[in-house]
Amino acid sequence: MADKIALIYASKSGRNEKVAQYLGKQFQQLDQPVEIAEMMTFPVEKLADFAGVVVVSYTYYEGQLPDEAVAFFDDLETTDLRGKYYALAGSSSIQHRYFGRALDLFDQKLAYLGAQRATAVLKINLDSDRADLARLDAFCQQVVDFAHNKD
Ligand SMILES: Cc1cc2nc3c(=O)[nH]c(=O)nc-3n(C[C@H](O)[C@H](O)[C@H](O)COP(=O)(O)O)c2cc1C
């Protein structure tokens, strides 16, 4: 479907998988078609079938991408993202110096490749609390609004 979102996540201990599943449910409630996939197994060229991509990722190794995200991140260079939109959310930890930096790396890369960011980057500290879930609700609404007003 042309207006579908690819919701791609990387998760080691499960928090970001939960974030992705929560977002998936919220998008469905907003009648936004969405397909959820793990980053490790999602071929970047499939992004051609989607209007937008939501990346959900943790951060590892002093502010680096998780291992599961490296191939996807590198392969982004090989695809045409102009005209597509993106959004970024994820759980990481404020105990680390570079809080949620993997999302910032994706932000720079996706913008550089010509995609448009639909809403602000949403960083969650460890497990999502009620305030985080409210922020995730707003995040979904903002992405859907952006998608509708884009063209
Ligand atoms: C060895 C290690 C290094 C980490 N490094 C960072 C980091 O540099 N920045 C950050 O924000 N979080 C860091 N984290 C925290 C994780 O991103 C956080 O635990 C996250 O919620 C894990 O997500 P997951 O449950 O989806 O795997 C690190 C965690 C571990 C275990």
Confidence at residue 150, expressed as pLDDT on a 0 to 100 scale: 82
Residue 146 in contact with ligand 1 by CB distance below 6 A: no
127 vs 105: CA distance, rounded Å: 22
What CATH number is associated with residue 62? 3.40.50.360
CA dihedral 142, 133, 126, 143 (to 10 degrees): -10
Domain enclosing residue 73, as ranges = 5-149
pLDDT attached to residue 4: 97
Give per-10-residue mean pLDDT for the chain (151 aa): 89 98 98 98 97 98 96 97 97 98 98 98 98 98 95 67
- Count structural domains, the chain: 1
Report pLDDT for 151.
67
The one-letter code for the residue type at 71 is: A
Residue 46, H or E segment: none
Which of ligand 1's atoms lies nearest the C-alpha of 58?
17
CB under 8 Å to 52, separation ≥6 — which residues?
5, 6, 84, 85, 86, 87, 118, 143, 147
* Ligand 1, atom 6: closest residue by C-alpha: 60
